[in-house]
């Protein structure tokens, strides 16, 4: 069960945005696995994508289309990644966009495609026309919850949240959905995330808001260290909320918008870790007193990606020597081990480069026997800090991924 997530969602609609979902039939279980998001005319969008060299066909096409004009529709399918599919995959992604464009009375360039699922398999193109028709017929501003479920793969619960902010006396909304559970170490955003607001936002400000939000949210999570071929995060602004356009980055409106977007992205990013494949614990790795943020992140990810540390977390085994060993091998230059301090929760396990004088196994076990654990590492060599969110490594993670295609 997802750590700290109930699976109950009640998202608020975003004026100017409608969503429809339908069964495409890619998944073995009968459920909706295709979603269309419709944006009102005049909407703007910004997106960040995976940096994986083997990026999927829909990533390539979405980048191309977004560079040509503002989107009117987003097409998302789950179960098939359309990655590692060569020229045929590109042709299929473009064909799907054309099918939506014909039904939505827009150009194919106004459609952005997104896919997630198994890599290396061709898309079931004959099924798309009927599914697209059905999803378009289902378009509704209250379609967020259904869409959150339709984009899931190995996720156990849908992930969706809304936040509100004020601009010139108008209450505006930010609502977002995300899917992701395994193959998580984003190098831009996450598996697939879609966030929308009814604010009117100048394009460059929208882009900057998204980049800053993802840097501090989706780019701070990891489950297994694997960056997907399909990662994408889109921020859409319909402008249908009735408030004046947000054009000045230094304005109160811009700060309110970016604050709400960051809050939504952070919650969505953490929900991926909470619902990580086989996860039983939500873990924060916080590194402080570093020379710069980069070395703090370098160490935090080194700890988060250690199978020895994460299996100990799963077993609630306070084997603190494993953490100490990672700190030593993380590649930090001129590390003064005598200055290093490590805490599990509020329990100091290492001080002055060795086991803390008042540490006991009983206190360590108590700090590990909870669902949410914070590991804090003080380097004693600067003022920089950074945190990464991750999960434990369980038997179930191996089972899920060993049987993913069976």
The alpha-helical segments, DSSP class H, found in 48-85 are 57-66
CA diameter of the chain: 71
The interaxial angle of helices 86-104 and 57-66, nearest 10 deg, is 50
C-alpha 207/C-alpha 58 separation (Å) is 20
Please state whether beta strands 34-39 and 44-49 pair in parallel, antiparallel, or not at all (unpaired): unpaired
Q: What is the DSSP letter of 140?
A: B
Strand partners, 113: 75
Q: List residues bridging with 111 in a β-sheet.
A: 73
What 8-state DSSP symbol labels residue 287?
E
Residues 6+ apart with CB under 8 A from 242: 15, 170
Nearest to 326 by CA among 377, 381, 382: 377
For the record, the structure tokens of 200 come out as: 């009117």
List C-alpha distances in Å: 258 to 32, 44, 212, 360.
32, 15, 8, 44
Residue tagged active-site, from 190, 222, 229, 390: 190
190 counts as catalytic: yes
Helices (H), 191-280: 203-215, 252-274
Q: Residues of 238-261 as b/e, b for ≥16 C-beta within 10 angstroms?
A: bbbbebeebeeeeeebbebbbebb
Backbone angles phi, psi at 140, to 5 degrees: -160, 145
For Cα atoms 124, 128, 129, give the angle at the middle one, nearest 5 degrees: 140
Question: To which H or E segment does residue 90 belong?
Answer: helix 86-104
* C-alpha distance across the termini of the chain, in Å: 22
**Order of all β-strands in the sheet with 17-22:** 17-22, 34-39, 73-80, 111-118
Residues noted as catalytic = 190
């Amino acid at each position: 069960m997802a750590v700290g997530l109930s699976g109950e969602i009640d998202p608020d609609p975003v004026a100017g945005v409608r969503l429809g979902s339908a069964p495409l039939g890619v998944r073995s279980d009968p459920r909706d696995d295709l979603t269309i998001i419709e944006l009102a005319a005049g909407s703007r969008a910004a997106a960040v994508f995976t940096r994986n060299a083997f990026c999927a066909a829909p990533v390539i096409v979405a980048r191309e289309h977004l560079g040509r004009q503002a989107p009117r529709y987003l097409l998302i399918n789950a179960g098939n990644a359309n990655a590692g599919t060569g020229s045929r995959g590109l042709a299929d992604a473009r064909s799907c966009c054309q099918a939506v464009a014909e039904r939505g009375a827009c150009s194919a360039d106004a459609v952005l495609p997104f896919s997630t699922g198994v890599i290396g398999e061709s898309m079931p193109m004959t099924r798309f026309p009927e599914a697209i028709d059905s999803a378009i017929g289902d378009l509704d501003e209250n379609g967020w919850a259904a869409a959150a479920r339709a984009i899931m793969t190995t996720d156990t619960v849908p992930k969706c949240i809304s936040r509100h902010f004020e601009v010139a006396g108008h209450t505006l909304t930010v609502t977002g959905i995300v899917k992701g559970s395994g193959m998580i170490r984003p190098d831009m955003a996450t598996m697939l995330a879609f966030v929308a607001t009814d604010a009117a936002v100048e394009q460059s400000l929208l882009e900057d808001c998204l980049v800053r939000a993802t840097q501090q949210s989706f780019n701070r999570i990891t489950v297994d260290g694997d960056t997907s071929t399909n990662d994408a995060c889109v921020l859409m602004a319909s402008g249908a909320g009735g408030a004046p356009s947000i054009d000045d980055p230094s304005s109160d409106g811009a700060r309110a918008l970016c604050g709400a977007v960051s809050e939504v992205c952070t919650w969505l990013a953490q929900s991926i870790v909470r619902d990580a494949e086989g996860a039983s614990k939500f873990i924060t790795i916080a590194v402080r007193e570093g020379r710069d943020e980069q070395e703090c992140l370098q160490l935090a990810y080194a700890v988060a990606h250690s199978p020895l540390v994460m299996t100990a977390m799963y077993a609630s085994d306070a084997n603190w020597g494993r953490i100490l060993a990672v700190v030593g091998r993380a590649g930090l230059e001129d590390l003064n081990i005598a200055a290093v301090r490590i805490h599990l929760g509020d329990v100091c396990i290492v001080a002055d480069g060795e086991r803390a004088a008042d540490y006991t196994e009983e206190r360590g076990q108590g700090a590990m026997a909870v669902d949410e654990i914070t590991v804090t590492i003080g380097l004693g060599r600067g003022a920089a800090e950074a945190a990464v969110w991750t999960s434990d490594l369980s038997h179930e993670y191996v089972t899920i991924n060993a049987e993913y295609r069976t």
